[in-house]
Amino acid sequence: MSPDVPYSTPFTNVPDAYSYLFRKTIVAFHYAFTKISDKFDWYFKADDDTYVIMEHMYEYLEKFNPNEPYYFGYRMKPHLVRGYNGGGGGYVLSRAAVKLFLDRAFYNRKICPFDNNEDVGMGRCLQNLEIFPYDTRNEKGQHRFHTYRPDVQFNGAIANEWHFYPQKTVSNTYLFHFSFFRTPIHLL
């Protein structure tokens, strides 16, 4: 991004509150695609406390065609039949997915109704475009995206009813090879 464009520019008239996160997210995708570049292959949405090993993400994404509509992340179960990607671990949209979203859903409240939950709302908008969460687990069934803090992820206290795919026990998790996971900044 140009140093001349403050990061808050797209959000000038949006209050700084959790209830506006969905609106901020869709505006951010619109701004990134229309004002910064529509040539990016991938668009990554993450919170300010999300830790990402970018080399792992690049390696994973290079297997996919950004001109096809992809929606990658940690697939959650409640609220939507086909699931949605939880916002805590971040999610990735391909160029084609962002373009479809902007062309067909951004201004259409029937396809993309407002939602108080940003990740569910984005999942609903994409589902209405027939873009569904992709299974991002590796060949051993280990998750690449993690929506919980490491201490929660490792102690096994995660209820499976929230997860599209069952959680693995600590011995089966990606211990030192997390590709992407959520962690509070002060733990780094």
The pLDDT tens digits of the residues spanning 48-74 come to 888 888 998 999 999 999 999 999 999
Mean pLDDT for 73-81 is: 91
Predicted confidence (pLDDT) at residue 182 exceeds the cutoff of 50 = no
Q: How confident is the model at residue 123 (pLDDT cuts 50, 70, 90)?
A: very high
Q: How confident is the model at residue 33 (pLDDT cuts 50, 70, 90)?
A: very high
Q: In percent, how much of the chain has pLDDT > 90? A: 51
Predicted confidence (pLDDT) at residue 32 exceeds the cutoff of 60 = yes
Q: Which residue has the higher pLDDT, 4 or 80?
A: 80
Long-range contacts: 101-108, Cβ < 8 Å, 24+? 101/26, 101/29, 101/125, 101/126, 101/129, 101/131, 102/29, 102/30, 102/33, 102/34, 104/129, 105/129, 106/26, 106/30
Q: Across the chain, what does the average pLDDT equal? A: 83
- What confidence score (pLDDT) does residue 150 get? 74
> DSSP string spanning 137-163?
--TTS--SS--S-HHHHHHT---GGGB
The pLDDT tens digits of the residues spanning 137-173 come to 988 888 888 887 777 777 766 777 778 887 765 444 4
Cα gap 48→14, rounded to integer Å: 18
- What confidence score (pLDDT) does residue 181 get? 44
* C-alpha distances out from residue 126 to 40, 133, 179, Å: 19, 9, 24
Domain hosting residue 163, numbered range = 1-188
Domain count of the fold of the chain = 1
- Please say whether the beta carbons of 56 and 92 come within 8 A: no
